[in-house]
Chains A and B, each alone.
Chain A
Amino acid sequence: MCTDTALIADFVAGDKNAFGKLVERHKKQAYLWALGLVGNKDDAYDISQEAFIRAYRHLDRFDLERPFLPWFYAIVSNLARSWLRRRVIRDYRSVDIDDVSYLLASEDTPEEEYTRKTLIAELRQALLRLPYKDREILALQHFRGMSYDEIAELLQIPRGTVMSRLYYARKKLANEMRHCHA
């Protein structure tokens, strides 16, 4: 299978189909990253598409010596951040318990499911109240299940920084969850 770098080189050389292959390879990843950052599936879909459009326009300036995913993740992250800034007029922090952007991981009885749904709605609300950087690190570790090494590579930060950012993000999340209960 072609590497990302080989596909980008083909695209820059004029093979437009190579970009389609790159999209097919990373579309779900881009959507899930965006979903973790903005917490809403429709917006996550739009952000993922806009990120590919930006990548398409700037791939000719991409440094082939560097990995593609951290560069592409930075585009998704910047778009998500500006999306959140634009949405300050709308109360995006309110969460609908029946919103299906997050699913329950297991099936329970209706009562247990309701309790879990409530808990998850509280979790989503608490996540949306966190500063962007904290939500980002929690989304990658908790919901994408990435290892510290993978996160460090994606965000281009040292592994130790991943650990300390996760510590402080969890402290804030625990506080926000307590707030929700109160």
Chain B
Amino acid sequence: MHNIRELLAGYVDGELTPEERAAVDKALAEDPELRAELEEFQKLKEVTGMAQYADLPEQVWERYWESLYRKLERGAGWILLSLGAIILIGFGLFQAFRGLYLNPDIPLWAKIGFTAAAAGLVILLVSFGRERYFAFKLDRYRRVLR
């Protein structure tokens, strides 16, 4: 059998066997601390009983599958797009490296200038994209129909 205190949870929820319940009743009659604990649990149950989870509007449930399906579809699209972008960017970088950095006719200052501009553009794009992403995730009204 469980520790008598742990049985209090089952006692409050009506989940004990008759033997366990009798054991708790006996302990309650003898132990005022246990009675105080039981009272606290009962109050807690009363408070939680006042609240219930809010359901979503029916129109949200009606569009649930449609919205999920779009996400599934887009997931496949994103995978293909990312794969293609990685290949193209890799190819572009390779070509740029060959055409710019390995070309002795282009002066060093032009190579440094191009590298700085490209790095700056990447940093700005990543920073802007991240900001937009978090702003969207934290937008409480993003599901409000306009």
B9 to A170, Cβ gap below 8 A? yes
Please indicate the chain B residues that have their CB under 8 angstroms from the CB of A142 in the complex.
45, 48-49
Are the CB atoms of A49 and B67 closer together than 8 Å?
yes
Q: Does more than half of chain B's interface fall in helix, strand or loop, or is it mixed? A: helix
Stretch at the interface among A2-10, A25-33, A58-66: A25-33
* Dominant SS among interface residues on chain A: helix
Report B-chain residues with C-beta under 8 Å of the C-beta of A71: none
Residues in A157-182 with C-beta less than 8 Å from chain B = 160, 163-164, 166-167, 170, 173-174, 177
A1 interface residue (CB < 8 Å to B): no
Q: A31-B56, A100-B54 are in contact. Are A123 and B68 (CB under 8 A)?
A: no
Asked if A23 contacts B68 (CB within 8 A), the reply is yes
User: Assuming the A-B contacts A53-B71, A147-B15, A174-B41, are A103 and B51 also in contact, with contact meaning beta carbons closer than 8 angstroms in the complex?
Assistant: yes
| Chain B residue nearest to A147 in the complex (CB) | B15
From the candidates A35, A45, A100, A163, name the one contacting B15 in the complex (CB within 8 A): A163
Q: Do A163 and B7 touch across chains, with their CB atoms under 8 A apart?
A: yes
Q: Is the C-beta of A73 less than 8 angstroms from some C-beta in chain B?
A: no
Q: How distant is the Cα of A27 from the Cα of B3 in the complex, in angstroms?
A: 38
Q: Which residue of chain B is the closest to A116 with respect to CB atoms?
A: B50
Which residues on the B side are within 8 Å of A167 (C-beta)? 5-6, 8-9
Q: Are B55 and A52 in contact (CB under 8 A)?
A: no
Given known A28-B61, A101-B54, A123-B48, contact A49–B6 (CB-CB < 8 A): no
Among the listed B6, B40, B54, which residue makes an inter-chain contact with A163, where contact means beta carbons less than 8 Å apart?
B6
Contact between chains at A105 and B5 (CB < 8 Å): no
Q: How far is the CA of A138 from the CA of B5 in the complex (A)?
A: 17
**Chain B interface extent, by class:** 35 or more
B56–A41 contact, CB under 8 A? yes
* Number of cross-chain contacts by CB at 8 Å: 102
- Determine whether A90 belongs to the interface, using a CB cutoff of 8 Å to chain B: yes
Tell me the minimal C-beta distance from A94 to chain B in angstroms. Answer: 14
A interface size (C-beta, 8 A)? 44
| A15–B42 CA distance with the chains assembled, in angstroms | 49
Do residues A27 and B61 form an inter-chain contact, with CB atoms below 8 A? yes
Contact A20 B65 (CB under 8 A): yes
Indicate whether B26 reaches chain A with its CB closer than 8 angstroms.
no
Residues of B within 8 A of A164 (CB): 2-3, 6, 9
In this assembly, does B103 line the interface, its C-beta being within 8 Å of a C-beta of chain A?
no
Which of B45, B52, B64 makes the CB contact (< 8 A) with A105? B52
Whether B140 pairs with A27 at a CB distance below 8 angstroms is no
Which chain B residue has the least Cβ–Cβ distance from A166?
B9
Given A102-B52, A123-B48, CB of A148 within 8 Å of CB of B71: no
Other 5 A-B pairs with CB < 8 A, given A45-B56, A163-B2? A45-B60, A49-B64, A49-B71, A105-B52, A143-B52
